Chains A and B, each alone.
Chain A
Amino acid sequence: MTTSVTAGAVLDDQRPDDRRARGGIRGRYGQALRSGKGAAGLGLVLLIVLIAVLAPLFLPYGEYEQGPDALLAPTGHHLLGTDEVGRDLLARLLAGTRVDLVVTLIAVPISAAVGTLLGLLGMLSRWVGALFQRIFDVLLGVPAVILGVGVAIAVTPGMESVIIAIVLVTMPVFGRQAGSALAGQLPLDYVAAAEVLGFPRRRVMMRHVLPNIIDVIFVRIAVVMAQAITVEGGLSVIGLGIQSPQPSLGSMIKDGSAYLLSVPLYALMPVAVVVLLVVGYTMLSDALNQAVLRK
Chain B
Amino acid sequence: MKPTTNPEPVPSDAIVDGTTGAPVLSVSDLSVDLTLGRAVYSVIRDVSFSVRPGEILGVVGESGSGKSLTALSVMRMLPSAARLAKGTIRYQGDNLLSMSDKQITALRGDRIGMIFQDPMAFLNPLMTVGQQIREVLVLHGTSKADADRRCVELLQLVGVRNPEQRVHDYPHQFSGGMRQRVIIAIAVANNPTLLIADEPTTALDVTVQAGILRLLSRLRTELGAALMLITHDIGVVEQVCDSVMVMYAGQVVEYGTVAEVLRDPRHPYTRELMRATPRLDSDVQTRLPTIPGRPPDVTNQPAGCPFHPRCPLVMDRCRTEDPDLVDRGESSRHLVACWASDGPLGPSPAPQVPLVATVNRSEQPVVLDVVDAHISYRGRSRLWRTGEVTQVVHGVDLQVRAGRALGLVGESGCGKSTLARTIVGLQPLESGRLAIDGKQWTTARGPERLALRRTVQMVFQDPYQSLNPRQMIRDILAEPLVVHRIVERDRRASRVLELMDLVGMPRSVLDRFPYQLSGGQRQRVGIARALAMEPKLIVADEPVSALDVSVQAQIINLLADLRDELDLAFLVIAHDLSVVRHLCEDVAVMQAGVIVERGSSEQIFSSPQHEYTRTLLAASPGSPWAELEPAE
Contact = CB atoms under 8 A, between A and B. Distances in A.
Interface stretch (A2-10, A253-261, A287-295): A2-10
A189 B462 contact: yes
Interface in B147-206: none
Interface stretch (A96-104, A195-203, A265-273): A195-203
A190 B64 contact: no
B551 to A, nearest CB: 12
Contacts of A4: 77-80
B541 to A, nearest CB: 9
A191 to B, nearest CB: 9
B468 A197 contact: no
Interface in B112-161: none
Contacts of A22: 515
A15 interface: yes
A60 interface: no
B425 to A, nearest CB: 7
A142 interface: no
Interface in B453-488: 453-454, 456-458, 460-462, 464-471, 479-480, 483-484
Interface in A22-38: 22
B448 interface: no
Given A15-B464, A192-B460, A193-B458, A9 B424 contact: no
B78 to A, nearest CB: 5
Nearest to B72: A10
B552 to A, nearest CB: 15
Contacts of B462: 189
B519 interface: yes
B344 to A, nearest CB: 32
B78 A17 contact: no
Contacts of B78: 2, 4
Interface residues of B, number: 48
A21 B483 CA distance: 26
Contact of A193 (B77, B460, B515): B460
Contacts of B471: 208
A193 B72 contact: no
27 contacts: A1-B76, A2-B77, A2-B78, A2-B80, A3-B76, A4-B79, A4-B80, A9-B79, A10-B68, A10-B69, A11-B64, A11-B298, A12-B68, A189-B465, A190-B468, A192-B458, A192-B466, A193-B466, A193-B529, A196-B426, A196-B453, A196-B456, A196-B457, A197-B479, A197-B533, A198-B454, A198-B533
B468 A208 contact: yes
Contact of A197 (B84, B464, B515, B529): B529
Given A189-B462, A190-B465, A203-B483, A7 B425 contact: no
A22 B424 CA distance: 32
Interface of A: 1-7, 9-13, 15, 17-18, 21-22, 188-190, 192-200, 203, 208, 211-212
B63 interface: yes
Interface string B78-117: 1111101000000000000000010000000000000000
Interface of B: 63-64, 68-69, 72, 76-82, 84, 101, 297-298, 421, 424-426, 450, 453-454, 456-458, 460-462, 464-471, 479-480, 483-484, 513, 515, 518-519, 526, 529, 533
B426 to A, nearest CB: 6
Q: Which 6 pairs of residues, A with B, have the shortest CB-CB distance?
A: A12-B63, A189-B466, A4-B80, A7-B79, A211-B470, A18-B515
Nearest to B454: A198
B468 A6 contact: no
Considering residues B78, B468, B471, which has the most beta carbons from chain A within 10 angstroms of its beta carbon? Answer: B468
B518 A13 contact: yes
Contacts of B468: 190, 194, 208, 211-212
Contacts of B483: 197-200, 203
A196 B425 contact: yes
B479 to A, nearest CB: 7
Given A2-B80, A195-B425, A197-B479, 16 more contacts: A1-B101, A2-B78, A4-B77, A4-B80, A6-B79, A7-B81, A12-B64, A17-B465, A192-B426, A192-B458, A192-B460, A196-B424, A198-B453, A198-B533, A200-B483, A211-B470
